[in-house]
């Protein structure tokens, strides 16, 4: 009789444990572990225990129930099988699916952020520095007429270069993604975000879409001050209408093969398609990859009559309508400070 009672007690405990385990697995499958409205990056660090991972993701506000996640991973026998890497998640994901994601490791992604104003060379260098691609391969494809012909570009390019069409954005891509596919991703983003603006507004601004893109790239390189973009744009529009040279330093720098950071008078006198101190009109191609704000500014300049601007040395510029006023501004903000430093 005692043996029967003992067996019944053990059996009851086993049933409770099974029910408890089943409840955990069911809850783990159908509850929400992570809720991400847009793409969110989750890092699993190399050598990090499941306890440390759960607590860290809980502190970061990523994981809704860190302790449950930890227990579920242990009960599943996966606590030591989570693979280190960078994962992109979006939408509602259950704790169980999240563990599957980390165990499989096929959700690991590279992330590449292209800042506004980066040139193709800047992107190539960043790609290689971060171990996510080969700089030479990237540049070869981005300037190869045969490869460019395979892309669905919204307009014809005057030269074989993807400059201006590598849209500034954060890109996520799986390990092993080649440089060709990266360029296609950047072009798709350009067509999605930038081209609709160019298509609808370029003609109103009296420009082709490619001309507006080229001007936007110059604006992007000339100022980082948001409120100045439309004013810088106005200066260049006014100069183009007045048949004046743009005289933009960034265009000259772009045409220098190995620029050392010091722009000299010799550079300004050197013959180059990008030397807007010598040539009239826009340079033949964009000189960087502009963001949406610069595109908008290029297409809708401020209603001012400025023809000149000079750096104040604090990230902003002094604008002038006449050369006489400009000369005074150059003396005040450029020459006078240098004289004071020497004395």
For the chain, domains (ranges, CATH) are 9-107 (3.30.1490.480), 209-342 (no CATH)
Average pLDDT estimate for 89-97: 78
Please name the residue that has the structure tokens 């306890």.
51
Could you tell me the two tokens for 85? 């890497």
Q: Do the beta carbons of residue 108 and residue 83 sit within 8 Å?
A: yes
What pLDDT, in 10s, does the model give residues 195-232?
999 999 999 999 999 999 999 999 999 999 999 999 99
What pLDDT, in 10s, does the model give residues 324-340?
999 999 999 987 766 66
Confidence check: pLDDT of 51 > 80: yes
| pLDDT of res. 92 | 77
Q: Do the beta carbons of residue 219 and residue 233 sit within 8 Å?
A: yes
Average pLDDT estimate for 224-245: 96
Beta strands 109-113; 308-311: pairing state: unpaired
Confidence check: pLDDT of 9 > 80: no
Q: Considering the chain, what is the average pLDDT of its residues?
A: 87
Confidence check: pLDDT of 7 > 60: no
Q: How far apart are CA 149 and CA 166, in angstroms?
A: 16
**Could you count the other beta carbons within 10 Å of the beta carbon of residue 307?**
19
Q: What's the number of CA atoms in the CB half-sphere (13 Å) around residue 134?
A: 9
Q: Is the pTM of this model over 0.95?
A: no
| pLDDT of res. 98 | 85
Q: What share of the chain is helix, strand, coil (3-state, %, to 5)?
A: 50, 10, 40
Q: Which of 105-119, 156-170, 199-213 has the lowest mean pLDDT?
A: 105-119
Torsion angle defined by CA atoms of residues 283, 150, 121 and 164, in that order, rounded to the nearest 10 degrees: 40
Q: First CA to last CA across the chain, in angstroms? A: 108
Percent of the chain with pLDDT over 90: 57
């Amino acid at each position: 009789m005692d043996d029967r009672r003992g067996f019944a007690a053990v059996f009851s405990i086993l049933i409770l444990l099974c029910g408890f385990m089943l409840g955990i697995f069911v809850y783990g499958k159908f509850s929400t572990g992570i809720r991400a409205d847009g793409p969110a990056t989750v890092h699993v660090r190399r050598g990090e225990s499941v306890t440390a991972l759960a607590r860290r993701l809980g502190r970061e506000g990523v994981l809704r129930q860190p302790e449950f996640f930890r227990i579920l991973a242990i009960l599943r026998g996966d606590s030591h099988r989570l693979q280190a890497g960078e994962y992109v998640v979006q939408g509602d994901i259950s704790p169980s699916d999240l563990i599957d994601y980390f165990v499989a490791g096929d959700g690991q992604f590279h992330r590449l952020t292209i800042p506004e104003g980066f040139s193709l060379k800047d992107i190539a260098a960043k790609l290689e520095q971060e171990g996510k691609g080969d700089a030479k391969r990237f540049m070869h494809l981005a300037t190869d007429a045969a490869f460019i012909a395979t892309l669905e570009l919204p307009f014809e390019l005057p030269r074989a270069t993807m400059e201006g069409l590598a849209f500034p954005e954060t890109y996520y891509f799986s390990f092993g993604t080649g440089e060709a596919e990266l360029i296609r991703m950047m072009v798709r983003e350009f067509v999605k975000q930038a081209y609709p603006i160019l298509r609808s507004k370029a003609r109103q601004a009296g420009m082709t879409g490619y001309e507006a893109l080229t001007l936007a790239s110059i604006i992007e390189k000339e100022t980082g001050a948001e409120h100045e973009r439309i004013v810088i744009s106005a200066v260049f529009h006014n100069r183009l209408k007045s048949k004046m040279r743009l005289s933009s330093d960034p265009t000259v720098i772009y045409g220098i093969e190995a620029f050392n950071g010091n722009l000299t008078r010799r550079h300004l006198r050197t013959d180059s398609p990008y030397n807007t101190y010598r040539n009239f009109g826009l340079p033949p191609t964009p000189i960087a990859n502009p963001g949406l704000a610069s595109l908008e500014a290029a297409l809708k300049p401020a209603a001012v009559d400025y023809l000149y601007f000079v750096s104040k040395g604090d990230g902003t510029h002094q604008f002038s309508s006449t050369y006489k006023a400009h000369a005074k501004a150059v003396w005040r903000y450029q020459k006078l400070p240098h004289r004071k430093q020497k004395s």
